[in-house]
Amino acid sequence: MRIHLILFVLLAGLLLTTHAAAQAGIDQCDDQDSDATPIHRTAPAFPHPARMLCLEGTVIIEFTVGVDGLVSNVEVLSAQPEGIFEQAAIQTTDRWLYQPRCVDGQAVEHQQKTAIDFELEEGVKAGCVDAAKKLKGEHLEFASAMGSAYSLLAELFVNPDSQDILKEMESALQPQFQGDLGKVERFHQGYIRTVLDDFEKTRNPSSPADLMSLVLPGNKPITPDDEITSDQLQSLRDASLSRIKQFKAQAQKDREAYAALHDATSMDPDLLTLLVEAFAGSFNHQDELVRQLEMVSLLINEMYQVLSDTKGHWTVAAHGIHFEFADDQREFHSVLDQVMELRQDAHEQVDEIWRGYAGYRR
């Protein structure tokens, strides 16, 4: 998950710059007493499931404004609805800066309370389905529980070796609901476990090698500079195509499970769609996913063809494939660039989803 680490490093650098620049604008206390006043207060991130569920709310927090103008000791006093916006409210205070309270010419710590509102844009509100406007009671509890589970999944993608997150995940995947909501809960739990299994397979160093592992930077299925036979090359190509076939089969399996869930519940269809797709995405509109997988299959075959038909020799290097002739190198990289573009798009889409879950948990 290197892309996550890079984004967090960049984000950390941005936040440090923001605080350093803002702190430079803090005035020294004069002889007159004054209350703490905000210099820089960023709006909170809107949790992804809450946006998808068309939920709005307010969180009231209490916190300490230090002599340096930074905020600490944040505590949630109340939240409406509960379990949805609290963590996002707390996290946004990391980027707040105040002119500290002044007493007798000295900056002093000060306790403050404030309300943070989470309001949807008018355009988003206009697109809200009627089912979202009726969410209340147990449905809101369900939304909170599922948001927490998917948030843990997002955290695990960022910190894949965290045993603490794994333990929390196991706890979050324990049954909590009965009836139709229990059926929807089991659907989500099965989907999350499938994602976890797929993630573990990709991280397993003993996973079967494929053509992508040969051509992309990183660990290689053979030692760099070694020759590779045509049978080995075909085997790697077949392994890549097999993985794509598995992805397509899983997509179809997910779609069938979703259709079975609709048949198994008496819940309002719009409400059921909302409680599933707000977290896991749409299972009924997978044409784009299938199109992308088929495109990758075609490109893998093109790469295989270039490697098979090259007039000169080629070898496996640490950074990829090195061809004897420049024309072969250009042709290969033309195909590889298309693969990398699809790969980058997929990374960005997944990363956008996971970022939407950040700050969702209590």
Taking the C-alpha atoms of residue 358 and residue 277, their distance in angstroms, rounded to an integer, is 18
Taking the C-alpha atoms of residue 273 and residue 117, their distance in angstroms, rounded to an integer, is 27
For the cut 80, the answer to whether the pLDDT of residue 286 exceeds it is: no
- pTM (2 d.p.): 0.66
Cβ atoms of residues 346 and 291 within 8 Å: no
- The arithmetic mean of pLDDT across residues 245-273, rounded, is 89
b/e burial code for range 157-196 (CB count within 10 A of at least 16 → b)? bbeeeeeebeebbeebbeeebeebbebbbebbbebbeebb
Taking the C-alpha atoms of residue 66 and residue 164, their distance in angstroms, rounded to an integer, is 31
How much is the pLDDT for 252? Answer: 85
What integer best gives the mean pLDDT of the chain? Answer: 79
Cβ atoms of residues 118 and 57 within 8 Å: yes
Q: Highest-confidence range of 117-131, 169-183, 201-215, 324-338, by mean pLDDT?
A: 169-183
Tokens 């409210």, located at residue = 89
How much is the pLDDT for 61? Answer: 96
How much is the pLDDT for 73? Answer: 94
Q: Highest-confidence range of 111-120, 152-161, 237-246, by mean pLDDT?
A: 111-120
Torsion of CA 120, 276, 157, 155, to 10 degrees: 50
Residue 57 confidence class, pLDDT cut points 50, 70, 90: very high
Domains of the chain: 33-128 (3.30.2420.10), 138-206+235-357 (no CATH)
pLDDT per residue over 340-360, tens digit each? Answer: 888 777 777 666 666 666 555
Could you count the other beta carbons within 10 Å of the beta carbon of residue 73? Answer: 12
Backbone phi and psi for residue 29, each to the nearest 5 degrees, phi listed first: -70, 140
Could you count the other beta carbons within 10 Å of the beta carbon of residue 231? Answer: 8
- The arithmetic mean of pLDDT across residues 72-95, rounded, is 89
Residue 7 confidence class, pLDDT cut points 50, 70, 90: very low
**pLDDT above 70 as % of the chain:** 79
Max Cα-Cα span within the chain: 84
Could you count the other beta carbons within 10 Å of the beta carbon of residue 72? Answer: 12
E strand residue ranges, the chain: 37-40, 57-65, 71-80, 97-99, 101-103, 106-108, 110-118, 314-317, 320-323
For residue 60, the cross-strand partners are: 78, 115
> CB-side exposure of 128: number of CA atoms within 13 Å?
21
Taking the C-alpha atoms of residue 322 and residue 99, their distance in angstroms, rounded to an integer, is 59
For the cut 70, the answer to whether the pLDDT of residue 175 exceeds it is: yes
How much is the pLDDT for 308? Answer: 86
- Nearest by Cα to 188 from 87, 272, 88: 272
How much is the pLDDT for 21? Answer: 38
How much is the pLDDT for 359? Answer: 52
For the cut 80, the answer to whether the pLDDT of residue 105 exceeds it is: yes
Taking the C-alpha atoms of residue 54 and residue 128, their distance in angstroms, rounded to an integer, is 6
Measure CA of the first residue to CA of the last residue in the chain; give whole Å.
Answer: 24
How much is the pLDDT for 181? Answer: 95
When computed from its CA atoms, the radius of gyration of the chain, rounded to whole angstroms, is 26
For the cut 50, the answer to whether the pLDDT of residue 244 exceeds it is: yes
